[in-house]
Chain A
Amino acid sequence: MNKNYIITGLVIFVLTVLSPFWFNMITTTQAAPEPELVGKAKTEKKCVLGKYEMRANHMSLLDEWRDSVVRNADRMYTAANGNSFNMSLSTGENSCLGCHEDKAKFCDSCHTYASVNPYCWECHTNPKEIK
């Protein structure tokens, strides 16, 4: 009697531990997004930081940019590779979205995949949406 309870509990526990495995078997798993350079970014070939550095660190960079613009009115960023950029997420040709034109591909695909919900777009707008 008691042993049956224990075995039942054990089976539930094992199933719970293995849940990441069977959950992906019974649901359709979305593949990792393939980052793709489109529009201006494709031809430009110069970004603020290197590829992996940018992937890992862009949120801190944007945070520093925000402080720099809002508190010091300093809007120019000179990157390690010598290029200078306008410290802006979405305004003008020299901003992030000025070069990487497609927000859905450039921002959202990875953020959705990694379940990251940045609050950038609570203030900023996608320039494409205004037109």
Chain B
Amino acid sequence: MASHAGAITLVVNGSTVTLDPSRDFHPSDTLSSVLRDRLGYTGLKVACDQGACGACTVLLDGRAVLSCMMLALEADGHEVLTIEGLPADDPVIQAFYEQCEPGYGTAMQCGFCTPGFVMAAKGLLNENPDPTMDEVKEALAGNICRCGCYPAIARAVLKAAATMKARAAGAAGAATSGAGSAKEATHA
């Protein structure tokens, strides 16, 4: 691929993007500003711009990072996943949306922190698909929800983990039963 000196290549939500420093970004630009202002991924939010709130969380090669604390340059050659890259039936998105059982409130109110929490939860579940409540809290301790929905957020993450587990079991079950019927068909 022909590119200018200093150009960087990111894979954002599966699409390869090459950015030219003479035109598309400045070497001092943060990943958050390039994603939001240059590439239009406005799902991530910038609230403190100093790594203290987690609203800008995205996944870099599957791990949660604070995009306001890293330069776009540092993401060169890496895969970036923003909330726009999650499918509509993503179990974490669904769990955050659906959380409303008696006694805990909803998992968001103003919603400004929510994409950051969702991506931090994705990062946790990528590494640890079956976390305990303490592990959930530890993983989300860098995210601020000023509306204070923490108890419901923690429950939503545990539910998302359970849904992922059930879906994986369902898929495995479907694969197994499929194989079984193929076997029967062979016998017949």
Partners in one complex: no
Interface, chain A (partner B; CB < 8 A): none
